[in-house]
């Protein structure tokens, strides 16, 4: 399959599920197996926790992550101690979390591991770089689409999206939701010399005028009504450091300056607006760009949902191919519908 040739061209790839039980871990396992068969050295970490045998929310069994001998990985002290493989410790971080420090290690024997990696985008970038310096030809990141996650999978060069029946049992709705996320992933990148500076900002709305950043004194979208007079005081290019929701887009849509306005966000995972609010914003002339934009390599599907509902895999792949113009894969069946 084309996806399993493409992955070797990228130094870092994130695998992101659109919802729980959409097949993210199965997709990741298939990619890791392709690397093992090729003798391609990998590094791996996670945003949040992944690799548990049982889903902590649904109680259903989850596929466990198995690493090949020689694989490099980063996880927390807690889960490193629970590993089911022999490993050589290469580094231990200074900073701590509730799960302990981050441990960088190399698998000496094949085995299972629970991944719990860095929580911030800046730290994730550092971890990816460290794994590459240690010899990883491709670093995989188990990603997340969540308001709770401070880390972004968009820091990687490539991205694989997992979707499926757990997202919606209705085929039309599943395709619609997946298409919207793919559109967000493919938003144009905003090129700036201030990339590192902008990525480090955690709160507030700022104006960008060339290479100058202006703090508008707006700590969140909830203060926009009171600060409307200051909103365009330094031009119409605005950087939103946090999440973008319906409230912000609907307010921006009503501004006389909307056709000249460009909103800059860190990456697609910061956009939590509904499809209708996003479309209305764009139809009025508003534009949105991102600082980080991974290349969308393909979409993996899981036709099964925990509720017991099963979709027709071929029909699901065909519908998504027509809508997305992307390679679509059912990694469990080892077949695909290619664009």
- Mean pLDDT by groups of 10 residues along the chain of 339 residues: 85 94 92 95 86 50 81 96 96 90 97 92 92 98 74 91 95 97 96 92 92 88 72 91 92 91 95 96 97 95 92 96 93 59
Q: Residue 5's pLDDT is what?
A: 85
Q: Residue 67's pLDDT is what?
A: 97
Q: Residue 51's pLDDT is what?
A: 46
Distance in angstroms (rounded) separating the CA atoms of residues 66 and 85: 9
- β-bridge mates for residue 46, sequence order: 142
Structure tokens at 180: 């919207």
Same topology, domains 3-186+293-337 and 195-290? Answer is no
Task: Kindly give the interhelix angle for 246-253 and 275-283, rounded to the nearest 10 degrees.
Answer: 20
Fold of 195-290: Cytidine Deaminase; domain 2 (3.40.140)
From the candidate CATH numbers 1.10.20, 1.10.3470, 1.10.3210, 3.40.50, the one assigned to the domain spanning 3-186+293-337 = 3.40.50
Q: Taking the domains of the chain in order of start, what are their residue ranges? A: 3-186+293-337, 195-290
């Amino acid at each position: 399959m084309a996806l399993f040739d493409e992955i070797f061209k990228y130094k870092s790839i994130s695998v992101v599920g659109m919802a729980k039980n959409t097949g993210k871990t199965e997709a990741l396992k298939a990619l890791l197996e392709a690397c093992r068969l090729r003798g391609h050295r990998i590094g791996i970490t996670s945003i949040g926790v992944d690799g548990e045998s049982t889903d902590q929310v649904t109680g259903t069994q989850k596929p466990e992550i198995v690493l090949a001998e020689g694989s490099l990985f980063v996880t927390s002290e807690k889960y490193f101690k629970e590993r089911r493989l022999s490993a050589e410790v290469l580094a231990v971080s200074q900073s701590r979390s509730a799960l302990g420090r981050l441990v960088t290690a190399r698998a000496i024997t094949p085995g299972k591991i629970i991944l719990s990696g860095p929580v911030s985008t800046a730290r994730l970038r550092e971890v990816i770089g460290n794994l590459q310096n240690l010899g990883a030809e491709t670093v995989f990141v188990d990603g997340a689409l969540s308001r709770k996650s401070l880390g972004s999978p968009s820091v990687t060069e490539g991205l694989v999206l997992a979707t499926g029946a757990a997202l919606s049992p209705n085929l039309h709705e599943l395709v619609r939701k997946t298409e919207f996320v793919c559109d967000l992933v493919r938003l144009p990148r905003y090129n700036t010399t201030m990339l590192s500076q902008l990525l480090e900002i955690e709160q507030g709305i700022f104006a960008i005028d060339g290479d100058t950043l202006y703090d508008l004194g707006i700590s969140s979208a909830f203060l926009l009504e009171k600060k409307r007079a200051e909103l365009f005081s330094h031009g119409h290019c605005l950087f939103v450091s946090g999440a973008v929701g319906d409230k912000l887009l609907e307010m921006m849509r009503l501004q006389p300056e909307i056709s000249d306005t460009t909103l800059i966000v860190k990456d697609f995972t910061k956009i939590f607006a509904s499809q209708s609010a996003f479309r209305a914003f764009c139809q009025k002339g508003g534009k949105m760009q991102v600082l980080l934009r991974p290349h969308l390599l393909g979409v993996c599907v899981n036709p099964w949902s925990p509720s017991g509902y099963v979709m027709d895999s071929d029909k699901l792949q065909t519908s998504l191919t027509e809508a997305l113009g992307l390679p679509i894969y059912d990694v469990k069946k080892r077949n695909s519908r290619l664009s």
